[in-house]
Amino acid sequence: MTPVKIEEVKQSERHQYINFLLLADESEAVVQKYIHDGDMFSIHYENKVAGVMIFTFHSDQVVELKNIALDSRYRGNGLGTFVVTEAFKIYKRRGKRKMVVGTANSSIGNLIFYQKLGFRMVEIKRDFFKAYPEPIIESGIRALDMVMFEKTLTEN
């Protein structure tokens, strides 16, 4: 794989990545609520911005992968797996014990992706997506519930 770079994004530069964030979270109003929280990283592949990740913090020991989005041209080649695995290493070094992530019940590809990375289902937040301004439909399924996953970072 061509070298991949992950770079931390300054607060003042985060809004230039809004279109990426909207690939993973369809509500701009919701994205605006967390765009300045936690850590944001841009993902570079072949010297081009391929995507972005945002991580927020639940406690001193728990980090949440709040948003990860890759341009469609960069999906399916292992880039997502690589950058999330790198994030495991970053946050383990920073003393985090656990990473959590949530995705919609209708996001079939994401449900598979997170489990392949070693995340385990731990909770379902019923009707989470009913609060969104517009219904989200994926693969003919309406997004209603948020499926929460977690991974212990001390595991290999």
pLDDT digits (tens, 9 = 90+) for 17-32: 999 999 998 889 999 9
53 in Cβ contact with 87 (< 8 Å): yes
| Mean pLDDT, rounded, of the chain | 94
Domains in the chain (CATH in brackets) are 4-152 (3.40.630.30)
Q: What are the structure tokens assigned to 140, written together?
A: 């003919």
Does 156 have pLDDT greater than 60? no
Q: Is the pLDDT of residue 2 over 80?
A: no
pTM of the entire structure? 0.91
Q: What is the pLDDT of residues 3-17, one digit of tens each?
A: 899 999 999 999 999
pLDDT at position 131 over 90: no
Give the pLDDT confidence of 90-117 residue by residue, as tens digits: 999 999 999 999 999 999 999 999 999 9
What is the pLDDT confidence band of residue 155, given thresholds at 50, 70 and 90?
low
Tokens of 149: 């996953």
- C-beta of residue 146 within 8 angstroms of C-beta of residue 104: yes
**pLDDT score, position 132:** 86
Higher pLDDT, 53 or 77: 53
Residue 137 parent element (H or E): strand 137-138
- What's residue 154's pLDDT? 78
**More confident of the two residues 155 and 139:** 139
CA 66 remoteness from chain centre: 5
Please give the pLDDT value at position 31: 94
Report whether pLDDT(1) > 60: no
Q: Percent of the chain having pLDDT more than 90?
A: 85
